[in-house]
Amino acid sequence: MDIIAFAAAVSIAVTVFLIGLAVAVGGSAGSRVRTRLDGVLSGEITELQPDVDPLREGVAPLQILRSFISGAWLARMEEELRMADSQLKPIDILAIRVALAGLGFAVPFLFIGGVMGFLAAVAAAIVGFYAPQLWISKRRETRSKKLEEQLPEALTMISNSLKAGFGLLQSLDLAADQLSHPVATELAQTVHETNIGSSMDDAFIALSERCKSYDLDMVVTAVLVQRTSGGNLAEILENVSATMRERVRIRGEITTLTAQQSLTGLVIGLMPVGVGLLFLLVSPEYISPLFTETVGKVALAVALVLETVGIMVIRRILAIEV
Protein backbone atom coordinates (compact mmCIF):
# COMPACT_ATOMS: atom_id res chain seq x y z
CA MET A 1 0.00 0.00 0.00
CA ASP A 2 1.25 3.49 -0.83
CA ILE A 3 1.72 5.19 2.55
CA ILE A 4 1.52 8.70 1.12
CA ALA A 5 -1.70 7.95 -0.74
CA PHE A 6 -3.14 6.38 2.40
CA ALA A 7 -2.22 9.48 4.42
CA ALA A 8 -3.86 11.71 1.81
CA ALA A 9 -7.02 9.59 1.90
CA VAL A 10 -7.13 9.72 5.70
CA SER A 11 -6.63 13.50 5.70
CA ILE A 12 -9.49 13.92 3.21
CA ALA A 13 -11.77 11.74 5.33
CA VAL A 14 -10.91 13.65 8.51
CA THR A 15 -11.43 16.98 6.78
CA VAL A 16 -14.82 16.00 5.37
CA PHE A 17 -15.87 14.64 8.78
CA LEU A 18 -14.86 17.81 10.63
CA ILE A 19 -16.50 20.11 8.09
CA GLY A 20 -19.71 18.07 8.23
CA LEU A 21 -19.58 18.06 12.03
CA ALA A 22 -19.10 21.84 12.11
CA VAL A 23 -22.12 22.33 9.82
CA ALA A 24 -24.22 19.99 11.96
CA VAL A 25 -23.12 21.72 15.16
CA GLY A 26 -23.98 25.16 13.80
CA GLY A 27 -27.36 23.99 12.55
CA SER A 28 -28.20 22.25 15.84
CA ALA A 29 -27.26 25.23 18.00
CA GLY A 30 -29.07 27.65 15.70
CA SER A 31 -32.18 25.47 15.73
CA ARG A 32 -32.25 25.37 19.52
CA VAL A 33 -31.83 29.12 19.77
CA ARG A 34 -34.63 29.76 17.25
CA THR A 35 -36.92 27.33 19.09
CA ARG A 36 -36.26 29.08 22.38
CA LEU A 37 -36.87 32.54 20.90
CA ASP A 38 -40.08 31.41 19.17
CA GLY A 39 -41.33 30.06 22.48
CA VAL A 40 -40.58 33.30 24.31
CA LEU A 41 -42.18 35.48 21.63
CA SER A 42 -45.31 33.32 21.45
CA GLY A 43 -45.75 33.33 25.22
CA GLU A 44 -45.35 29.58 25.62
CA ILE A 45 -42.13 30.09 27.62
CA THR A 46 -42.48 32.64 30.41
CA GLU A 47 -39.10 32.22 32.09
CA LEU A 48 -35.66 31.07 31.07
CA GLN A 49 -34.70 27.62 32.21
CA PRO A 50 -31.26 26.77 33.63
CA ASP A 51 -30.40 24.88 30.43
CA VAL A 52 -30.19 28.05 28.31
CA ASP A 53 -26.50 28.68 29.04
CA PRO A 54 -25.33 25.34 27.58
CA LEU A 55 -26.45 26.62 24.17
CA ARG A 56 -23.01 28.29 23.99
CA GLU A 57 -21.04 25.40 25.47
CA GLY A 58 -20.60 23.51 22.23
CA VAL A 59 -21.82 20.08 21.19
CA ALA A 60 -20.84 16.71 22.62
CA PRO A 61 -18.86 15.41 19.60
CA LEU A 62 -16.49 18.36 19.75
CA GLN A 63 -16.40 18.38 23.55
CA ILE A 64 -14.83 14.89 23.43
CA LEU A 65 -11.67 16.56 22.19
CA ARG A 66 -11.30 18.23 25.62
CA SER A 67 -10.02 14.93 26.97
CA PHE A 68 -6.93 15.23 24.77
CA ILE A 69 -6.18 18.94 25.30
CA SER A 70 -4.53 20.61 28.27
CA GLY A 71 -6.60 23.00 30.33
CA ALA A 72 -3.91 25.68 30.04
CA TRP A 73 -4.22 25.70 26.24
CA LEU A 74 -8.01 25.90 26.44
CA ALA A 75 -7.86 28.82 28.89
CA ARG A 76 -5.25 30.67 26.82
CA MET A 77 -7.16 30.14 23.57
CA GLU A 78 -10.46 31.20 25.14
CA GLU A 79 -8.79 34.42 26.30
CA GLU A 80 -7.35 35.04 22.83
CA LEU A 81 -10.75 34.48 21.20
CA ARG A 82 -12.38 36.89 23.64
CA MET A 83 -9.76 39.54 22.88
CA ALA A 84 -10.34 38.92 19.16
CA ASP A 85 -14.11 39.52 19.53
CA SER A 86 -14.83 36.02 18.25
CA GLN A 87 -17.82 33.90 19.25
CA LEU A 88 -15.94 30.68 18.49
CA LYS A 89 -14.87 28.26 21.20
CA PRO A 90 -11.34 26.83 21.55
CA ILE A 91 -12.60 23.42 20.45
CA ASP A 92 -14.12 24.99 17.33
CA ILE A 93 -10.81 26.63 16.45
CA LEU A 94 -8.97 23.34 16.95
CA ALA A 95 -11.41 21.54 14.66
CA ILE A 96 -11.03 24.26 12.01
CA ARG A 97 -7.23 24.09 12.21
CA VAL A 98 -7.20 20.31 11.83
CA ALA A 99 -9.69 20.48 8.95
CA LEU A 100 -7.67 23.12 7.10
CA ALA A 101 -4.47 21.16 7.67
CA GLY A 102 -6.05 18.00 6.28
CA LEU A 103 -7.47 19.86 3.28
CA GLY A 104 -4.15 21.60 2.69
CA PHE A 105 -2.35 18.28 2.71
CA ALA A 106 -4.81 16.47 0.47
CA VAL A 107 -5.31 18.98 -2.36
CA PRO A 108 -1.66 19.52 -3.44
CA PHE A 109 -0.87 15.84 -3.12
CA LEU A 110 -3.80 14.79 -5.31
CA PHE A 111 -3.27 17.45 -8.01
CA ILE A 112 0.57 17.51 -8.11
CA GLY A 113 1.65 14.07 -6.93
CA GLY A 114 5.15 12.71 -6.44
CA VAL A 115 7.80 14.06 -4.11
CA MET A 116 7.07 17.68 -5.02
CA GLY A 117 3.40 17.09 -4.36
CA PHE A 118 4.19 15.61 -0.98
CA LEU A 119 6.42 18.54 -0.03
CA ALA A 120 3.80 21.02 -1.22
CA ALA A 121 1.16 19.10 0.74
CA VAL A 122 3.21 19.27 3.95
CA ALA A 123 3.79 23.01 3.45
CA ALA A 124 0.09 23.60 2.73
CA ALA A 125 -0.90 21.56 5.80
CA ILE A 126 1.36 23.68 8.01
CA VAL A 127 -0.05 26.89 6.52
CA GLY A 128 -3.62 25.62 6.94
CA PHE A 129 -2.99 24.65 10.56
CA TYR A 130 -1.55 28.03 11.53
CA ALA A 131 -3.82 30.24 9.37
CA PRO A 132 -6.64 30.46 11.99
CA GLN A 133 -4.10 31.47 14.64
CA LEU A 134 -2.83 34.26 12.38
CA TRP A 135 -6.43 35.36 11.84
CA ILE A 136 -6.99 35.52 15.60
CA SER A 137 -3.76 37.46 16.13
CA LYS A 138 -4.76 39.95 13.43
CA ARG A 139 -8.18 40.51 15.00
CA ARG A 140 -6.58 40.94 18.42
CA GLU A 141 -4.16 43.50 17.01
CA THR A 142 -7.00 45.38 15.29
CA ARG A 143 -9.08 45.44 18.48
CA SER A 144 -6.14 46.58 20.61
CA LYS A 145 -5.27 49.34 18.14
CA LYS A 146 -8.86 50.58 18.08
CA LEU A 147 -9.00 50.52 21.88
CA GLU A 148 -5.85 52.62 22.15
CA GLU A 149 -7.21 55.08 19.58
CA GLN A 150 -10.39 55.49 21.65
CA LEU A 151 -8.66 55.91 25.02
CA PRO A 152 -7.74 59.64 24.73
CA GLU A 153 -11.33 60.53 23.91
CA ALA A 154 -12.59 58.33 26.74
CA LEU A 155 -10.19 59.91 29.24
CA THR A 156 -11.20 63.41 28.15
CA MET A 157 -14.86 62.52 28.61
CA ILE A 158 -14.24 60.98 32.04
CA SER A 159 -12.15 63.98 33.10
CA ASN A 160 -14.86 66.45 32.03
CA SER A 161 -17.47 64.41 33.89
CA LEU A 162 -15.36 64.48 37.06
CA LYS A 163 -14.99 68.25 36.74
CA ALA A 164 -18.77 68.54 36.41
CA GLY A 165 -19.22 66.82 39.76
CA PHE A 166 -19.88 63.20 38.76
CA GLY A 167 -18.28 60.33 40.62
CA LEU A 168 -15.77 58.01 38.99
CA LEU A 169 -18.30 55.21 38.43
CA GLN A 170 -20.83 57.63 36.99
CA SER A 171 -18.15 59.06 34.68
CA LEU A 172 -17.17 55.58 33.50
CA ASP A 173 -20.81 54.69 32.89
CA LEU A 174 -21.36 57.91 30.92
CA ALA A 175 -18.28 57.27 28.77
CA ALA A 176 -19.45 53.69 28.14
CA ASP A 177 -22.83 54.99 26.94
CA GLN A 178 -21.33 57.63 24.65
CA LEU A 179 -18.47 55.66 23.10
CA SER A 180 -18.39 52.56 20.91
CA HIS A 181 -16.89 49.10 21.17
CA PRO A 182 -14.35 48.02 22.40
CA VAL A 183 -13.60 50.74 24.97
CA ALA A 184 -17.30 51.10 25.81
CA THR A 185 -17.61 47.36 26.41
CA GLU A 186 -14.59 47.27 28.71
CA LEU A 187 -15.70 50.31 30.73
CA ALA A 188 -19.22 48.90 31.06
CA GLN A 189 -17.75 45.61 32.28
CA THR A 190 -15.73 47.49 34.91
CA VAL A 191 -18.83 49.34 36.12
CA HIS A 192 -20.78 46.07 36.21
CA GLU A 193 -18.12 44.36 38.32
CA THR A 194 -18.20 47.15 40.89
CA ASN A 195 -22.01 47.07 40.96
CA ILE A 196 -22.05 43.37 41.84
CA GLY A 197 -19.66 43.77 44.76
CA SER A 198 -16.11 43.94 43.41
CA SER A 199 -13.84 46.62 44.81
CA MET A 200 -12.81 49.49 42.58
CA ASP A 201 -9.16 48.44 42.67
CA ASP A 202 -9.95 44.85 41.70
CA ALA A 203 -12.23 46.02 38.89
CA PHE A 204 -9.51 48.22 37.40
CA ILE A 205 -6.87 45.49 37.75
CA ALA A 206 -9.23 43.10 35.95
CA LEU A 207 -9.70 45.73 33.24
CA SER A 208 -5.94 45.91 32.73
CA GLU A 209 -5.62 42.11 32.60
CA ARG A 210 -8.45 41.78 30.08
CA CYS A 211 -7.14 44.35 27.60
CA LYS A 212 -3.36 43.87 27.90
CA SER A 213 -2.71 47.36 26.56
CA TYR A 214 0.25 49.49 27.58
CA ASP A 215 -1.77 52.71 27.30
CA LEU A 216 -4.60 51.30 29.40
CA ASP A 217 -2.07 50.07 31.97
CA MET A 218 -0.95 53.69 32.38
CA VAL A 219 -4.54 54.75 33.03
CA VAL A 220 -5.13 51.97 35.56
CA THR A 221 -1.86 52.75 37.34
CA ALA A 222 -2.75 56.44 37.51
CA VAL A 223 -6.20 55.69 38.96
CA LEU A 224 -4.85 53.23 41.54
CA VAL A 225 -2.09 55.62 42.63
CA GLN A 226 -4.62 58.45 42.95
CA ARG A 227 -6.91 56.30 45.07
CA THR A 228 -3.98 55.49 47.36
CA SER A 229 -2.19 58.83 47.53
CA GLY A 230 -4.96 61.28 46.66
CA GLY A 231 -4.90 64.11 44.17
CA ASN A 232 -6.99 65.62 41.41
CA LEU A 233 -8.07 62.64 39.32
CA ALA A 234 -9.50 64.83 36.55
CA GLU A 235 -6.17 66.60 36.10
CA ILE A 236 -4.28 63.30 36.24
CA LEU A 237 -6.45 61.80 33.50
CA GLU A 238 -5.99 64.93 31.38
CA ASN A 239 -2.20 64.56 31.65
CA VAL A 240 -2.38 60.87 30.75
CA SER A 241 -4.62 61.70 27.77
CA ALA A 242 -2.13 64.36 26.60
CA THR A 243 0.68 61.80 26.87
CA MET A 244 -1.27 59.32 24.77
CA ARG A 245 -2.04 61.90 22.08
CA GLU A 246 1.66 62.78 21.93
CA ARG A 247 2.57 59.12 21.52
CA VAL A 248 0.05 58.84 18.67
CA ARG A 249 1.64 61.87 17.00
CA ILE A 250 5.13 60.37 17.38
CA ARG A 251 3.94 57.06 15.93
CA GLY A 252 2.59 58.92 12.92
CA GLU A 253 5.93 60.67 12.39
CA ILE A 254 7.81 57.37 12.66
CA THR A 255 5.45 55.77 10.13
CA THR A 256 6.08 58.66 7.74
CA LEU A 257 9.86 58.52 8.17
CA THR A 258 10.04 54.73 7.69
CA ALA A 259 7.59 54.54 4.76
CA GLN A 260 10.39 54.62 2.18
CA GLN A 261 12.36 51.92 3.99
CA SER A 262 9.25 49.76 4.24
CA LEU A 263 8.61 50.09 0.52
CA THR A 264 12.27 49.32 -0.22
CA GLY A 265 12.10 46.17 1.88
CA LEU A 266 8.91 45.10 0.08
CA VAL A 267 10.45 45.65 -3.35
CA ILE A 268 13.65 43.79 -2.43
CA GLY A 269 11.62 40.92 -1.00
CA LEU A 270 9.43 40.58 -4.10
CA MET A 271 12.24 41.06 -6.62
CA PRO A 272 13.44 37.39 -6.64
CA VAL A 273 9.86 36.19 -7.09
CA GLY A 274 9.31 38.63 -9.96
CA VAL A 275 12.56 37.67 -11.68
CA GLY A 276 11.69 33.98 -11.37
CA LEU A 277 8.24 34.51 -12.90
CA LEU A 278 9.82 36.55 -15.67
CA PHE A 279 12.22 33.71 -16.54
CA LEU A 280 9.33 31.24 -16.47
CA LEU A 281 7.55 33.31 -19.11
CA VAL A 282 10.53 34.28 -21.27
CA SER A 283 12.82 31.24 -21.03
CA PRO A 284 11.30 28.29 -19.16
CA GLU A 285 14.14 25.93 -20.15
CA TYR A 286 16.66 28.24 -18.47
CA ILE A 287 14.98 28.09 -15.04
CA SER A 288 13.56 24.55 -15.25
CA PRO A 289 16.62 22.93 -13.51
CA LEU A 290 15.50 24.65 -10.30
CA PHE A 291 12.40 22.45 -10.31
CA THR A 292 13.76 19.28 -11.91
CA GLU A 293 17.32 18.83 -10.59
CA THR A 294 18.13 17.94 -7.00
CA VAL A 295 20.66 20.75 -6.70
CA GLY A 296 18.11 23.22 -8.07
CA LYS A 297 15.48 22.12 -5.55
CA VAL A 298 17.96 22.49 -2.70
CA ALA A 299 18.95 25.95 -3.95
CA LEU A 300 15.30 26.91 -4.23
CA ALA A 301 14.62 25.75 -0.67
CA VAL A 302 17.65 27.65 0.66
CA ALA A 303 16.56 30.78 -1.22
CA LEU A 304 13.08 30.50 0.26
CA VAL A 305 14.49 30.22 3.79
CA LEU A 306 16.82 33.19 3.27
CA GLU A 307 13.98 35.21 1.77
CA THR A 308 11.83 34.53 4.84
CA VAL A 309 14.65 35.41 7.22
CA GLY A 310 15.32 38.64 5.32
CA ILE A 311 11.69 39.71 5.50
CA MET A 312 11.60 38.99 9.24
CA VAL A 313 14.81 40.98 9.82
CA ILE A 314 13.50 43.97 7.87
CA ARG A 315 10.22 43.91 9.78
CA ARG A 316 12.12 43.70 13.04
CA ILE A 317 14.30 46.70 12.16
CA LEU A 318 11.28 48.79 11.22
CA ALA A 319 9.32 47.85 14.37
CA ILE A 320 10.16 50.92 16.48
CA GLU A 321 8.60 51.03 19.94
CA VAL A 322 7.23 54.32 21.23
Average pLDDT, the chain: 79
- Rounded Cα distance between 167 and 162, Å, is 6
* Crossing angle for the helix pair 71-83 and 90-111, to the nearest 10 degrees: 90
Q: Residue 237 in contact with residue 155, Cβ under 8 Å?
A: yes
pLDDT of res. 16: 63
pLDDT in tens, 117-136: 777 788 888 888 999 999 99
Question: Is this prediction's pTM over 0.75?
Answer: no
- Rounded Cα distance between 159 and 42, Å, is 47
Q: How far is CA 247 from the centre of its chain?
A: 24
DSSP type of residue 179 = S
Q: Residue 81 in contact with residue 56, Cβ under 8 Å?
A: no
pLDDT in tens, 62-83: 555 555 666 777 888 888 888 8
pLDDT in tens, 160-194: 999 998 989 999 999 999 999 899 999 999 999 99
Domains identified in the chain and CATH numbers: 3-143 (no CATH), 145-256 (1.20.81.30), 259-318 (no CATH)
Q: How far is CA 6 from CA 101, 106, 107, 314, in A?
A: 16, 10, 14, 41
